[in-house]
Each structure stands twice: as structure tokens, then as C-alpha cells.
Structure 1
């Protein structure tokens, strides 16, 4: 029986000498499907199985086993800028790696649409490091790991002027609850983090994106990267390569 769904290609691995096992991100969760003959195909899967390509999949259930068969696919969108821009190439690799390592539960349609529209915006716009910060926050948010910003994580008090940010505690701390690892934040910085946290649609990224390029915004980039790496408990290989390309 055939059924159809939209999917974002995350990765593929060779199976035998002619097939690919393809990992897909869908609203039904991550799927691993078998593309028979895809290594040898000159037409059926041409350019359709590259990382972060959006496709419409035509799948069927196998007579034996559980791995779905990818009968065919239609191209819906393929990013072009990573082919011309090395930094974007590394960042798109970072996106794919973080999705593979953190998106375990199925995404809702709203979250899936955000990912697709975010990729399209990133593909069209000039590179800014704030893109990375917003992506890291959204990854945390989709997994229920975003920083708590409405009050002190430990006592619940809502600080009015003095804020401290602690990855280990999971968000902001008040003056009384701060520890030696917590970093002070200014009102502008906590407002910026809250603004990023309120993003629901990809087109809403532009205002915080501009603020992230300021001096205080760049400090937020560092705070949030530290928070992200602490809570996913793993350092993506693509992140190291991206940072080397950006900063040497």
C-alpha cells in the first residue's frame, strides 16, 4: 500500500551495492526508509536524497520486515546557497547533525513548517551568526529544554534589574540564588532571549536577528551556545568545523 508525506532528508547510508538507507524528518517523527537501487539510479532519485532537501515521499510497506520502501519522490525544495557559500555549507551540515541528534519525538505541523521556512530564509539571506543562535534556541524549545526566563529557577522570584544566567540551573537566577558559574545579564539581553523564545513562525526571526549582531547580542550568542551544548550533552562535529571557518 502506497502513502505519501512531506519529508526533509537528513542523511543516507549505503546498503549493499545498490541501495540507500535514507533518514527523513517528518511530522510523524524521524523515519529510516530504503531507497532500492538509488546508488545506481540516474533518474529516479537524482538530486533528491541530498541533505536538507525537501521531498514528497511515496512510500510502501514491505511484505517482510519493518523498514518502509521509498518507491519514488518529488522534489519540493533544495537549498542552493550552500553550494556557493562555504560557511553556509558548514552551517547546513550543523543543522542536519543537530536534527539527527536531538529531534527524537515527532514534530507538530507548526514546528515542521518552521524548520522548512527557516531553511528557505537562511538559503536566501546573507549569513549572520545570529542564525545559529536562533536555531539552537528553537532546537531546545522543540525538545522542551529551553531556558526558563520568567523568574528565578530556584526561588521563583522575578528579578527586576539584576539577572544571572546559568546553563547548569536551566535559566535565570536572582541575585540571592546566583552561584559562581552564573553569568550576569543586562535587561536588554534578557529581553532579547525572551523575544527569541516567543518566535513561532520563521519570518519572526528578523528582529531578534538584528539585535544579536550588537555587542551585547553577541554575548547572548555565547551564553546560548553554552546552554545548548550543556543540555544536549554532546558537541556536534559540524559545530567545530563551522567555528573554525568563522573564526580560524
Structure 2
């Protein structure tokens, strides 16, 4: 019997920059409500390009990205408020994703105002409560981004995206560049999100196998093509494709292609 329909789906997506060979070739994948999908591969393999196509941040592609079976506009600028809220993107460099001159709390609360129509006072209260649940006090959140650590900003970026009440949360290498303690804290937060019954579907873009192990399913990208998809435990412990075996260090690996 077929499972539930995908909440977000990519169909035969081929993406490029102007005048360059394809960065992504005929990529198809989907994620269902309540599911966590990890997209893994080496740097330069097309992971971030795929994530940006899903989020409307890279519009030069062929194929389709669908939300609940309906095509999404390729460009973020053409998506309506409901579509913007439904698919949220958390960048690898959290510091660059915040305005350096405005308090972090204001920027987090703004998501609820802009995408859900919440009044500013109520949005700030909601933001304070949500930030508190991930260990960020109101005093810390009222600082400008320069007054927070990289890990604190990454948690704030996750909360900012979650205040949109997204259907899908795309996290692009969000543990990259963090120290081991901070990285474990962010991984725990992602694991908690993955276990929430009413939480968003998660798409984790990563080269880190510990992060990928949080997922229900894994899609493996090599040189712009998806070479393997399947349950996470199977892909990590009994991979079928030579590239996946090389990536995981499994017996029988033939090395990077």
C-alpha cells in the first residue's frame, strides 16, 4: 500500500548557472510530512544547489518543485506568503544570515509578523519563549548578532525559521564550522525536531554522516546526480553504490570517482 503523498517533491531537476555545465542533473526526490531526509555527498556535488532550488533561491533549473502536488514558482520573489512560510531555509553561515545592526530577537520575531500576520508584541513574546526552549535567554537575544557565538546564532536561525510554522525545514550544513560541543547541541535540537509529531519535514544537507544518521531516509549526490536513495540505516551500513561505499568507508569501496 502506498504511503502518504509527499509534502515537497523535486521532479527531474537539472540546474545550472549562466553559461556553465549542469550543477544538478535530473534529480528527483521527495519528503513526506513528519519525515527527515538527509542529502549527502562531497563538497561541490550539488547538494546546496538542490536545496536552493527547493527553497526558491536558485531559479535557473528545468523540471519541477512541488508543494503538496502543486508546482512552486521557481523564484522566491514569486512565491506568495503561504508558500514562503511553508518552505523555510536555514543557511550554513548563520552570522551572514542576520542583519549585523539589529537585535537578534527583532529579526527572529519578524518572521511571525511577516509570514503569519502576528502582531509585533505577540510575535516578540512567541520568539522569546521559543528561543528560551533552545537555551537562549531574552537578554542574549536582545543583543546584536556580533554579541552571540556561532552556535547561539545557529540556534536563533533555526527558531526564526520555525516561527514561520513551516511544512518543510531545509537545513544546509548547519553544523559545519561549529566546535564539537556546539555541534552536538545543534544536532540534539535537530533530533528533537525530527521526533516532534507535528513538526516540519526536515531536509538535512550535509557531508557529515553523524548528521545524516538522524534521518529516516538518505539521498546520495555525486557530481550532480543522485546515485542512491533509501532508508538511512541501510544506506549507511549496507550501501549499494560504489560512491556511497566510498563515502561511508564501507567494505568494497572503490574510492572517490
In the superposition, the TM-score normalised over structure 2's length comes to 0.28
TM-score in terms of structure 1 length: 0.28
Structure of greater Rg:
1
- The structure showing larger relative contact order (alpha-carbon pairs under 8 Å, at least 6 residues apart) is 2
